[in-house]
Protein backbone atom coordinates (compact mmCIF):
# COMPACT_ATOMS: atom_id res chain seq x y z
CA UNK A 1 0.00 0.00 0.00
CA UNK A 2 1.31 3.42 -0.94
CA UNK A 3 2.19 5.44 2.12
CA UNK A 4 0.12 8.53 2.92
CA UNK A 5 3.15 10.82 3.14
CA UNK A 6 3.93 10.14 -0.54
CA UNK A 7 0.58 11.53 -1.59
CA UNK A 8 1.12 14.50 0.72
CA UNK A 9 4.58 15.10 -0.77
CA UNK A 10 3.19 15.09 -4.33
CA UNK A 11 0.47 17.47 -3.17
CA UNK A 12 3.01 19.79 -1.50
CA UNK A 13 5.16 19.86 -4.65
CA UNK A 14 2.12 20.65 -6.80
CA UNK A 15 1.01 23.42 -4.45
CA UNK A 16 4.47 25.00 -4.40
CA UNK A 17 4.60 24.90 -8.20
CA UNK A 18 1.20 26.59 -8.27
CA UNK A 19 2.48 29.32 -5.94
CA UNK A 20 5.59 29.74 -8.10
CA UNK A 21 3.49 30.04 -11.25
CA UNK A 22 1.13 32.50 -9.58
CA UNK A 23 4.05 34.71 -8.50
CA UNK A 24 5.89 34.66 -11.83
CA UNK A 25 3.22 34.64 -14.55
CA UNK A 26 2.17 37.99 -15.97
CA UNK A 27 -0.92 36.73 -17.78
CA UNK A 28 -4.01 36.97 -15.58
CA UNK A 29 -5.56 33.86 -17.19
CA UNK A 30 -2.46 31.80 -16.42
CA UNK A 31 -2.51 33.16 -12.85
CA UNK A 32 -6.07 31.86 -12.47
CA UNK A 33 -4.95 28.53 -13.93
CA UNK A 34 -2.20 28.37 -11.29
CA UNK A 35 -4.89 28.90 -8.62
CA UNK A 36 -6.68 25.86 -10.10
CA UNK A 37 -3.39 23.96 -9.79
CA UNK A 38 -3.20 24.86 -6.10
CA UNK A 39 -6.84 23.84 -5.56
CA UNK A 40 -6.11 20.48 -7.19
CA UNK A 41 -3.13 19.96 -4.89
CA UNK A 42 -5.39 20.62 -1.88
CA UNK A 43 -8.02 18.24 -3.29
CA UNK A 44 -5.46 15.45 -3.69
CA UNK A 45 -4.30 16.00 -0.10
CA UNK A 46 -7.86 15.91 1.24
CA UNK A 47 -8.84 12.78 -0.71
CA UNK A 48 -5.67 10.96 0.36
CA UNK A 49 -6.05 11.81 4.05
CA UNK A 50 -9.76 10.98 3.93
CA UNK A 51 -8.99 7.61 2.32
CA UNK A 52 -6.36 6.73 4.91
CA UNK A 53 -8.56 7.94 7.81
CA UNK A 54 -11.42 5.78 6.44
CA UNK A 55 -13.70 8.77 6.73
CA UNK A 56 -15.84 10.68 4.23
CA UNK A 57 -15.33 14.21 5.57
CA UNK A 58 -12.38 15.08 3.35
CA UNK A 59 -14.06 13.81 0.20
CA UNK A 60 -17.24 15.78 0.94
CA UNK A 61 -15.02 18.85 1.37
CA UNK A 62 -13.40 18.12 -2.02
CA UNK A 63 -16.89 18.01 -3.54
CA UNK A 64 -17.60 21.51 -2.18
CA UNK A 65 -14.17 22.80 -3.22
CA UNK A 66 -14.85 21.72 -6.80
CA UNK A 67 -18.18 23.60 -6.74
CA UNK A 68 -16.48 26.73 -5.38
CA UNK A 69 -13.68 26.39 -7.96
CA UNK A 70 -16.25 26.36 -10.75
CA UNK A 71 -17.87 29.52 -9.37
CA UNK A 72 -14.46 31.13 -8.94
CA UNK A 73 -13.45 30.35 -12.52
CA UNK A 74 -16.72 31.73 -13.91
CA UNK A 75 -16.49 35.00 -11.95
CA UNK A 76 -12.73 35.43 -12.44
CA UNK A 77 -12.87 34.84 -16.18
CA UNK A 78 -15.88 37.18 -16.47
CA UNK A 79 -13.84 39.86 -14.71
CA UNK A 80 -10.88 39.22 -17.04
CA UNK A 81 -13.10 39.57 -20.15
CA UNK A 82 -14.54 42.84 -18.81
CA UNK A 83 -11.03 44.03 -17.97
CA UNK A 84 -9.79 43.15 -21.46
CA UNK A 85 -12.62 45.16 -23.06
CA UNK A 86 -11.73 48.21 -20.96
CA UNK A 87 -7.92 48.09 -20.76
CA UNK A 88 -7.18 45.96 -23.90
CA UNK A 89 -4.71 43.87 -21.93
CA UNK A 90 -4.63 40.91 -19.55
CA UNK A 91 -1.11 41.59 -18.25
CA UNK A 92 -0.44 42.63 -14.71
CA UNK A 93 2.16 45.21 -15.76
CA UNK A 94 -0.44 47.10 -17.83
CA UNK A 95 -2.84 47.42 -14.89
CA UNK A 96 -1.33 50.53 -13.34
CA UNK A 97 -4.47 52.64 -12.83
CA UNK A 98 -3.92 52.88 -9.06
CA UNK A 99 -0.37 54.18 -9.62
CA UNK A 100 -1.82 57.52 -10.83
Taking CB under 8 A as the criterion, which residues in 5-44 touch another protein? Answer: 5-10, 12-21, 23-27, 29-30, 32-34, 36-37, 40, 43-44
Task: State the number of binding residues for another protein (CB under 8 A).
Answer: 71
**How far is 83 from 31, CA to CA, in rounded Å?**
15
**How far is 62 from 71, CA to CA, in rounded Å?**
14
Least CB distance to another protein at residue 9 (A): 6
Burial of 11 (0-12, 13-18, 19+ CB in 10 A): buried
Residues 69-88 that bind another protein (CB under 8 A): 69-75, 77-82, 84-85, 88
- The site string for another protein over 46-65 (x = CB under 8 A, - otherwise) reads -xxxxxxxxxxx-xx-xxx-
Least CB distance to another protein at residue 51 (A): 4
Nearest of 19, 24, 28, 20 to residue 91 by alpha carbon: 28
Residues 6+ apart with CB under 8 A from 5: none
Least CB distance to another protein at residue 96 (A): 15
Amino acid sequence: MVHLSWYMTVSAILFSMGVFGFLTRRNLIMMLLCIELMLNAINLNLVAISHYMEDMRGQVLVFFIIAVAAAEAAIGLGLIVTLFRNVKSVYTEDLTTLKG
